[in-house]
Structure 1
Amino acid sequence: MHISSHRLFTAIRLSFMYYEEVSQVSKSRVHGDRFDGVDGPTAARDDSDLARAIGARIRELRVAQGMSMRTLAPLADLKQPFLSQLERGVSSPSMLSLYKLAKALGVAPGDLLPDEPVTPGAVVFRSGEGHPIHSVDGAVSSAGRLLFTDADHELEISEFDILPEQNNSEWFDHIAEAATYVMTGELRVEVENGGEWVLGRRDVIFCRAGSRSRWTALDPAGTSLLHVIARRRER
């Protein structure tokens, strides 16, 4: 399966329009941390239940590939005790951990999330819905959310708000085509052996499958972005 850059760019543009619309609507409709209306399929999951479900999914994929935790941990550049905590649902993975595990297991990051029922038509995620996630493991990390519907959907979107003090030097491996769209602020993007760019509001960068990149937020007030991944599908 191949998703063209045009399709990815269209998806990002639509996501940005949705983000702006929801931000306005939220001022009058939000109750607590969630909107009235149609929930996304992952909105109601308890954090601890979600951690256990992700852990079970990691273990399922690992066992299916005949790998022990001792084998998978170094492939994913993770400590074995931490991997054990993830599989038992004691700890929740960051976006970086999901990327590392996905690369080691040969799947997309969203494939490590629990399966959701296939929903025909449209699925709407309101502000506050989706999978809460941190960019990296540790105290200094930006918070975001991962938006993903079901296993048949070809796109997954993550949204992050990054302050300069939350920057880190970690590289993210892209196992599929990906794009990053800056909604507000400024973002420096480095692509390993590919160049370096400073992106402003409504700028977008596409990264090829197999490339590595890292972000640095430059705006003192923070940088908001959308990251879109084309999930690989067997046809």
Structure 2
Amino acid sequence: MRVDDSPGPAIGRSVHALRSARGLSMRALASSAGVSQPFLSKLENGLLQPSIATLYALATALDVAPGELLPPAFAAAPAGARVTSGSPLLLHSGEEAGTPTAQLLSGGPGSKLEVYLFTAEPGSSDAAPFEHAGEEFVHVLTGTVVAHRDGHPALSLAAGDSLTLDPGVPHWWGAPESNDGPATFLLVSTRA
């Protein structure tokens, strides 16, 4: 994804700073995060904005919470107060087309809580499973959402349904083709 007036350059600077502070080569971090070295170079140079999947993979490889890679505008305000304003941070769940989009409502450097508003078009699905420490809660606002978890049957959630799950189990989200329109859901994630 080409970035113009997006948080991509700020994310790239954060990744570069953390990689340098840890003494990692670009090749070592790329390998650990499962991305190519040219992709990582473009990201660090502000030419790309990562998907949520890539953000999580880089955060895991750098041993930080994903929020630590986000622009400072999404950091918590003093005394824990936070008011969201301005342009929202919009990410795709994967690099491929047809993946759900997520708007970060709360979270960022120093925050242990991330709140996303996902929009999943009929037939869309996360490109890859996620797994991370902490806890995860989902509440479906519109449409139907399907929760997939390794070793568990798929679970269909309708508007008004909620689910708390162990995010240490690889999991991904999708919307069935049969939805009349986009499914929307809130995803609240904490880091251990």
TM-score normalised per structure 1: 0.71
Bigger CA radius of gyration: 1
Tell me the alpha carbon deviations over residues 59-79 of structure 1, each in whole angstroms, 9 at most, x when there is no partner: 111122221111111211111
1:122 is matched with which residue? 81
Alpha-carbon deviations, 1:133-168, whole Å to 9, x = none? 112113333322112355343311111111124334
After superposition, residues 202-221 of structure 1 pair within 5 angstroms as 202-218=160-176, 219-221=179-181
In 1, distance between residues paired with 2:139 and 2:87? 20
Q: Distance in 2 between matches of 1:62 and 1:175?
A: 21
CA contact (8 A) 2:150 2:171 kept: yes
The residue aligned with 2:186 is: 226
> 1:183-230, CA deviations, whole angstroms, 9 ceiling, x for partnerless residues?
111111111124421111122222224221011202231210111111
CA separation of 1:130/1:168 partners in 2, compared to 1, >3 Å: closer, same or farther?
closer
Q: Secondary structure of 2:95's partner?
A: coil
What is the total number of aligned residue pairs between the two structures? Answer: 186
More helix by share: 1
Q: Distance in 1 between matches of 2:143 and 2:6?
A: 34
Residue 175 of structure 1 aligns to a residue in which SS? coil
Query: Counterpart amino acid of 1:72?
Result: L
Change (3 A) 1:197 1:209: closer
Q: Which moved further from structure 2: 189-198 or 85-94?
A: 189-198
Counterpart of 1:156 in structure 2 is 114
Alignment of 1:180 with 2:138, yes or no, is yes
My pick for the range that moved more, 136-145 or 80-89, is: 136-145
Contact between 1:131 and 1:146, CA under 8 Å: does it hold in 2?
yes
- Residues 152 and 170 of structure 1, relative CA distance in 2, 3 Å threshold: closer
Among 108, 117, 126, which residue is 2:65 paired with? 108
Worse-superposed segment, 77-86 or 48-57: 48-57
Q: Which whole-Å CA distance do the structure 2 matches of 1:130 and 1:76 have between them? A: 26
RMSD: 2.3
Amino acid of the structure 2 residue aligned with 1:91: L
Q: 1:142 corresponds to which letter in structure 2?
A: P
Cα shift readout 1:108-137 (whole Å, capped 9, x = no counterpart): 2111113346333632325x7421111211
Contact 2:67 2:107 in 1 (8 A): no
Match of 1:93 among 50, 67, 78: 50
Amino acid at match of 2:157: L
Distance 2:107 2:57 in 1: 21
Q: What is the TM-score when the length of structure 2 is the normalising length?
A: 0.85
